[in-house]
Amino acid sequence: MIDTLNIDIKKIAESKISQIDFNNIQFGKTYSDHMFTAEYENGEWKNLRIEPYEPMRISPASPALHYGISIFEGLKAYKDSEGKINIFRADKNYERLNISANRMCMPQLPEQIFFDGLHTLLELDNKWVPDVPGTSLYIRPFIFSNDDYIGIRPSERFKFMIITCPVGAYYAKPVKVKIEDHFVRAVEGGSGYCKTGCNYGPAIYPAKLAQQKGYDQLIWTDGKEHKYIEESGTMNIMFVIDGKLVTPALGDTILNGITRDSVLNVARDWGMDVEERKVPVTEVIAAIKEGRLTEAFGAGTAATIAQIELIGYKGEDFQLPAVETREFSNKVLKELDGIKLGQIEDRFGWVSKI
């Protein structure tokens, strides 16, 4: 048994929680009372602390600001019917944070700092985990360069932080997506498989152009030929074609989503045929036209399942089957929600309770 780490705790003078209407929360606008911080310097992580959530001081020369030396994770905590906090597959987020850290020349974060920091923060801000149906506490761990040096090189000082915010149902309504055939999100040899800030800023402009044409989001295609489907916005993408669950195979251009992995596991457990492979745009369009594509959806922590109602490609819009008819995605959403809330047996061992 390892002792818990020494975390300095400075509590907020007066909680902000009475200002929150948990029936009406906007994603990412309201943060919980406290945040966790650890600092890396001279080869070690130290100064572990929890303090009130507030703006912080950072060097104007920080490479996080200039070169995007920053990485992040996103996961959720739920309240079960006994008032316990359920965290979904946080071990996967911890693993992925260190994969991103490696790509960005950041030190590995010790497991104990991640989990002790997270658990201590959640215990302190326990009341911020909402129990209104459809809501949860979004958890954002992140690491960024804390150097005071504008040169381009691996950084030496970092901050690891965790902030949290209560969220309502995100993307509840089905989305219209456009298959992007000019801009790219990731290329082979790049950093698409990491959650690093550098991947997200440049994706906003192409998405904005699509939104001006009436779409909600983009479907990214491969950076070489725009022939193969990769992801949808900041979610993985899945189709049901001829009764099989089809999704792009992982690689260095695709984020290894935990929701993606969970959906595939549940599908296999149910005995469904699952194909992880290259998914040509032409195959998807043909399957829509021939009525063989029955479902299309995004998979990610924010929405879990985001139904796609319409796909635009080269100026033509294709309406997909009505959301109510989509047997698999509706069922898998219920299954995952049930597991997260402790209402369905956790047969995969995905939930930890605090």
Q: Which residues sit at the interface with ligand PLP, rule CB under 6 A?
A: 74, 195, 231, 234-236, 255, 257-260, 300-301
Q: Are 296 and 326 in contact (CB under 8 A)?
A: no
C-alpha to C-alpha distance for 80 and 333, rounded to whole angstroms: 17
Q: Which residues pair with 244 in a beta bridge?
A: 241
Which two tokens mark 29? 């606008």
Which two tokens mark 31? 């943060």
Q: How far is the CB of 155 from ligand PLP (least distance, A)?
A: 22
Nearer to ligand PLP, 255 or 296 (CB): 255
Q: How far is the CB of 195 from ligand PLP (least distance, A)?
A: 5
Q: How far is the CB of 72 from ligand PLP (least distance, A)?
A: 9
What is the residue-wise DSSP string for 74-118? -EEEEE-TTS-EEEESHHHHHHHHHHHHHHTT-PPPPHHHHHHHH
**Terminus-to-terminus CA distance in the chain, angstroms?**
18
Q: How far is the CB of 167 from ligand PLP (least distance, A)?
A: 13
Nearer to ligand PLP, 45 or 220 (CB): 220
C-alpha to C-alpha distance for 77 and 124, rounded to whole angstroms: 14
Q: How far is the CB of 234 from ligand PLP (least distance, A)?
A: 4
Q: How far is the CB of 93 from ligand PLP (least distance, A)?
A: 7
C-alpha to C-alpha distance for 277 and 279, rounded to whole angstroms: 6
Q: How many CB atoms lie within 10 A of CB 42?
A: 7
Nearer to ligand PLP, 120 or 300 (CB): 300
Contacts of 290 (CB under 8 A, 6+ apart): none
C-alpha to C-alpha distance for 14 and 254, rounded to whole angstroms: 43
Nearer to ligand PLP, 7 or 264 (CB): 264
Nearer to ligand PLP, 93 or 145 (CB): 93
Q: How far is the CB of 218 from ligand PLP (least distance, A)?
A: 11
Question: In whole angstroms, how far apart are CA 195 and each of 88, 94, 183, 232, 258?
Answer: 18, 12, 19, 15, 13
C-alpha to C-alpha distance for 217 and 296, rounded to whole angstroms: 14
Nearer to ligand PLP, 236 or 307 (CB): 236
Nearer to ligand PLP, 127 or 268 (CB): 268
